[in-house]
Amino acid sequence: MTYGTFDLLHWGHINLLKRARVLGDHLIVGLSSDEFNEIKNKKSYHSYENRKLILEAIRYVDQVIPEHSWEQKIDDIKKYNVDVFVMGDDWKGKFDFLKDYCEVVYLPRTVGISTSKIKKDLFSVKNG
């Protein structure tokens, strides 16, 4: 299981999903809802429904569920019998409390790409 916003999908996302899928036989993605993104002060370019549609088309993803709060992770792990929780290593240590429920793995991020970088680059081009 992994969580995220997965906006402006790029090869870093695909690498993360591919590596996460190898760690188990069923990959569930908890996709941040638009309402949860507002709580996090994040604004997605694509709506939840469109981001969900894109994720469901990726062969490494078996199931997409909505993420409505930080607190739901323990309930999701129990509900879906999750063995491995996966996040990018920029979150290292932040989800160690889940080790009481499953294995927690922090994967290295793909170097040179991020949604923040894409947004920054697009903003730079737009404002030339």
The catalytic residues are 40, 42
Place of tokens 């994720």: 55
Q: Which residues pair with 107 in a beta bridge?
A: 88
Pick from 24, 36, 29: which is nearest to 14 by CA? 29
Helices (H), the chain: 11-22, 34-39, 48-56, 72-79, 115-126
